[in-house]
Structures are given as C-alpha cells and as structure tokens.
Chain A
Amino acid sequence: MQAIRSYTQSVSAIMALVMILSSMWAIPASANIVGTGELLTEQRADIDREALMSMLEREDVKGALASMGVGEQEVRERIQSLTPSELADFKQQLAEAPTGEGVVGIIVLFLLVFIITDMLCATDIFPFINCIR
C-alpha cells in the first residue's frame, strides 16, 4: 500500500506535466485566424440564399405559399436564418429534381419543413406560429 502510494505521487506528477505540455502544445497549432475555407463557405451560402430569395419571386411559388397561409415576409426572414448546410441540402434536392417540373413543390416543401418544425417547437423562427404543446 505504501509502495503504491509513493508511486501514485510520481505518476500523477508526470501526468500533470504531460497535460500541461500537451495543452501548451495546442496553442500555436490552433491559431485564432479565420480560415479561407470558412469565408468561402459563408460567401457560397450568401449566394445560395439570394438564389432561393429570387425563386420566391415566381408567381407559382408565391401562389402555393399563399394558399397555405404563409406570408412572404415570414418566409424571407426564415431564409435569412438558414445555415449553409441547410442551403446546401436544398440545392441538392433541387438538382435532383427532374428538369422543369417539381421545382415549386420542392421550394414549398423545403420551406414547409421548417414551418412544421417550428410548430413542434424544435425551432422558433415564426412568431405567428404557436407550438403544439
């Protein structure tokens, strides 16, 4: 017992040293600069967002959203807060759609998903929607 105790002291001393060294090591490696990739991802998302916004100008999209009682302004605000990965998802869905048809459906469905998750209180973007709970 005594022997073990004397060991633990030196072991813990070594462990402490290792931890200090390893944490110091990490400092120069993870510099606080913003990576080029981060900026590019952001810019790409901005462009995608604008593209989605311009789709809202389509009469058929406007009509479909209006018939479901969703206001255009709310949708615009929702698009503003989409993350880059959500936007990439949307682009993927759009790219996989057969050319010409189904575009309205995809836009509306995509936006609707977020409205429904808002209703389930998973997100809280639309102030006019009250959670079911």
Chain B
Amino acid sequence: MHTFRPHSARLLLVALLGVILSGCASQPRWPDAYEKATLTNVPFHPQELYQCGPASLAMMLNAQDVQATPDELVSKVYLPERKGALQVEMVAAARQYGMLVYPLKPELDVVLKEVEAGHPVLVLQNLRFGWWPQWHFAVVIGYDSKKEVLILHSGTEENYRLPASAFMATWDRSERWARVMLPPDQLPATAEPLEFLMAAHDLETTQQTNAAKLAYSTAAKTWPDQPAALLGSGNLAYQQGHWSEAEKYYRAMTEQFPDISAGWNNLAEALSKQGREVESSAMLNKAQETKGLAKKPSAD
C-alpha cells in the first residue's frame, strides 16, 4: 500500500500538469513583415481596480484626442455586482464619445497591422483559466519582432513587454477579443467594407447621428461599390426629417445599384413625404419589380 501512494500521486500530478499545459500548447508563428514599433501618442493611466477597463478605455480615447479620465469612465463601464467592466460597456462608452468601434479579426497579424498603422488596440485577456477567469483589459501599443514581444499599457505597467507566447495564451482565453476605436472619418488598417458599415450602423442605432453620418460617408468614399453606405446616409437624413436630402442619397443609390429594391422603396417614401405621390408610386412599382427579379433565381 505504502509503495503505491507516491506513485499514484505522481501520476495524478503529471495528469494535472498535462491538462493545465495543454491550454497553452498552441504557439502561433510570429508573422513576417513586421519589425518594431511603439506608439508614443498613447498616454498611460495606471490602474489595478476594475480589471483595468476604465483606464484602458481612457488611453484609447486620449490617443484620439478625446478628453476622458479613468475616473469619469468608471461609472460608464463598471458594473459593481460583477466587479468589472464588460466588453459591451466598453464598446458602448466609446460610442458615446463618437468613436467608431471596429472589431478586429482574431489574428495576431491583424493586431500588429493596426499598431503599425498607428492605431492602439484594446484587447481583453484572461490571465487565469476558463473556469476561474480573471479578465483584464490592456492596450497594445507596440511590438518588437526580433524579440517576439508585444508592448502593452497593462494594469500598472507602462510599456510592458509581454512575450508573444504569453500574450497568445491569455488572449486565446478571451476568444481573442480586440477592438480599435477611431474617429469615424478614419479607417482601420484592416477594415473590410461590410464590417465597417456594420460598425457605422451601430453608431446609427445608438443615436450617434453625426458620427454615423461621417462613418457612412467615409465608407462611400472608400468603397464606392457598397450600397449600404448610400442607404445609411439616406436613412439618417430621413430619420431627421430631411426629406430632400434623403431623396438625393436614395436617388444616387437607385442609379448605382438599380437591382436593389431597398433603394427604390426608400426613394418612394422620401418622395411621398414631400407630397409627390405620383412619382412615389412609380418608384414603389420599381421596388416591386426589382424584388421580383431578385426572388426569381432562388424560387425555382
């Protein structure tokens, strides 16, 4: 009996270590084509409390010349009963300051690319394990490819150099949550049209009308092939009761994207609001026609 005990204890230890270490086993390769960068325009706010949410958000906002202190952000992002800030609150608060919040693809490469372009990246890490989480927000402000480290403003550490393997292990456990926050007339380096337009639409639905307007026009300039940029601008004008301005955007949409019935439909509404019922019903017919056309291929 006595001889078995240490043996089984050792076995248990090995098994336990195996389970623990398997969590951080995957080590992705450091992407090529990056050298070294440190953003110097991101002020540092040390913070230990609140999972570093308010401080990290303040750093992100200050980097875009938005005045905000960690203290004033506490009430906006901190949930006392959870003892922390949630991603949703962080994002919502940034929108209240008119920032466009863009969700990054969950790849290290994408984070580096944004930093290279001068955009600090807000990341969520889980410093412990899935079943006993310690959530932590930090701001990626640089990297050094030779040493394979990321440079973060993290907690009470300014310019904290974190090895990529450690970063990936903790970032993986937050499902690689990463966001950039920019004024809506600027594009994230890795922006994709639909993703950007959805972020613009989020501004629209949270009553950040001016910011949304700017974001839609940025999208329209960058991707002239995106109908939602025109529709978004038109809908904003419509919601504000600017019928003729809305008409202008909707008309542009029907000219550039005659196959999309939404443009015709909304144009009809904008005309009707101006009392031009004859024109309006003609446009409504167009909307029905295009709808019929769009449905046909999948109907049979």
A binds B: yes
A residues whose Cβ falls under 8 Å from a Cβ of B: 31-40, 43-44, 47, 80-81
Chain A residue at minimal CB-CB distance from B246: A33
Taken together as a complex, chains A and B put the C-alpha atoms of A44 and B198 apart, in Å, by 10
B232 within 8 Å of A (CB atoms): yes
B235 within 8 Å of A (CB atoms): yes
Chain B residue at minimal CB-CB distance from A43: B194
Main secondary structure of the interface of A (DSSP, over half): helix
A32 contact set on B, CB distance < 8 A: 265, 269
B262 contact set on A, CB distance < 8 A: 34, 38-39
Chain B residue at minimal CB-CB distance from A79: B298
Size bracket of the B interface: 20 to 34
B171 within 8 Å of A (CB atoms): no
B214 contact set on A, CB distance < 8 A: none
Query: Top 6 A-B pairs ranked by shortest CB distance?
Result: A34-B262, A36-B232, A80-B298, A33-B266, A33-B269, A39-B228
Expressed in whole angstroms, the minimum distance between the Cβ of B115 and any Cβ of chain A is: 25
A40 in contact with B201 (CB, 8 Å): yes
Taken together as a complex, chains A and B put the C-alpha atoms of A7 and B227 apart, in Å, by 57
Expressed in whole angstroms, the minimum distance between the Cβ of B293 and any Cβ of chain A is: 15
A43 in contact with B228 (CB, 8 Å): yes
Q: A36 touches which one: B228, B265, B269 (CB < 8 A)?
A: B228
B residues whose Cβ falls under 8 Å from a Cβ of A: 194, 197-198, 201, 204-205, 227-228, 231-232, 235, 238, 260-262, 265-266, 269, 297-298
B205 contact set on A, CB distance < 8 A: 37
Known: A31-B238, A31-B269, A43-B194. 19 other contacts (CB 8 A): A32-B265, A32-B269, A33-B235, A33-B266, A34-B262, A34-B265, A34-B266, A36-B197, A36-B228, A36-B231, A38-B262, A39-B227, A39-B231, A39-B262, A40-B228, A44-B194, A44-B198, A47-B194, A81-B298
B261 contact set on A, CB distance < 8 A: 34
Taken together as a complex, chains A and B put the C-alpha atoms of A40 and B205 apart, in Å, by 14
Taken together as a complex, chains A and B put the C-alpha atoms of A52 and B103 apart, in Å, by 23
Taken together as a complex, chains A and B put the C-alpha atoms of A81 and B298 apart, in Å, by 7
B238 contact set on A, CB distance < 8 A: 31, 33
Expressed in whole angstroms, the minimum distance between the Cβ of B226 and any Cβ of chain A is: 8
B231 in contact with A34 (CB, 8 Å): yes
Taken together as a complex, chains A and B put the C-alpha atoms of A31 and B235 apart, in Å, by 11
B235 contact set on A, CB distance < 8 A: 33, 35-36
B269 contact set on A, CB distance < 8 A: 31-33
A35 contact set on B, CB distance < 8 A: 235
Pick 5 A–B contacts, CB within 8 A, sort by A: A31-B269, A33-B238, A34-B266, A39-B260, A43-B227
B266 in contact with A40 (CB, 8 Å): no
Expressed in whole angstroms, the minimum distance between the Cβ of B242 and any Cβ of chain A is: 13
